[in-house]
Amino acid sequence: MRFTMEMTDVAVRTFQKSLQECITEKEMAAIIDCNVEQVGGVVQAASSTILFGERTKLSHGTPTQHPIKNNEPAFIEIGGHKNGYACGLVRSALLGRHAETELLHNLSMEVLDAVISAIKPGATAGEVDSAGREALKQLGRTEFLNHRVGYQSGIRWSERGNISLEPGATDTLEPNMTLHMPIILCGESGYLIGTSESVLVTERGAEILSHTPHTLYRA
């Protein structure tokens, strides 16, 4: 999982550094694949999402020839892959300015930080979910979150393990579990913007595996 996160970080940093006006989603995907392969890794293409502009209103989407324009958002969910294991990240970026993207991302970071702080051995999946929702409630924007705050991860990203961080879930977290928390908020205009972390549950709490900040990247 640590190795796959290294590959995920390479993919995300490539996404950020390559973002420029008129680049297409497919061109971005090709650059990412090339850079990850150069460091001896692969990304799980079937589970990757790269969306630009109005297409960030889609919950998932494989890359197309759609280009990004100035003052538009960009969104990626991607994971390195090795021996069946995958470690995912969500990152959002902005080319210029876009008020809804900035609002949603600021809120998503508050929720993510609350969720990460609640992760520890003995906590239930429902308690972790509740911590995220309470943070959004305090910010007066509960309507922006319409899904669970995360899930158990590990082998075969698409299977996602057995634990879902959702309201009322009674599963108990244990040391050495790995979790992915994609906090993606839906704004009034339909944009889906957010951020995530993959973490290791330790005796001291959550260890963030990525070395790429979950702040909004500005190109």
Residue burial 78-107, b: 16+ Cβ < 10 Å; e: rest: bbbbbeebbbbbbbbbbbeebebbbbbbeb
Cβ atoms within 10 Å, residue 72? 20
Question: What is the pLDDT at residue 134?
Answer: 98
The DSSP secondary structure of 75-87, one letter per residue, reads EEEEEEEETTEEE
CA dist 41 and 58 (Å) reads 28
Query: Residues 100-142: pLDDT tens digits?
Result: 999 999 999 999 999 999 999 999 999 999 999 999 999 999 9
pLDDT of the residue at 155? 82
- Please state the rounded mean pLDDT for residues 24-42: 94
| Angle between helix 25-38 and helix 2-18 axes, rounded to 10 deg | 140
Domain ranges of the chain: 2-218
Would you place residue 158 in the very low, low, confident or very high pLDDT band (cuts 50, 70, 90)?
A: low
Query: Which pLDDT band holds residue 94 (cuts at 50, 70, 90)?
Result: very high
Q: What is the DSSP letter of 212?
A: S
Distance CA 31, CA 11 (A): 9
**CATH tag, 2-218:** 3.90.230.10
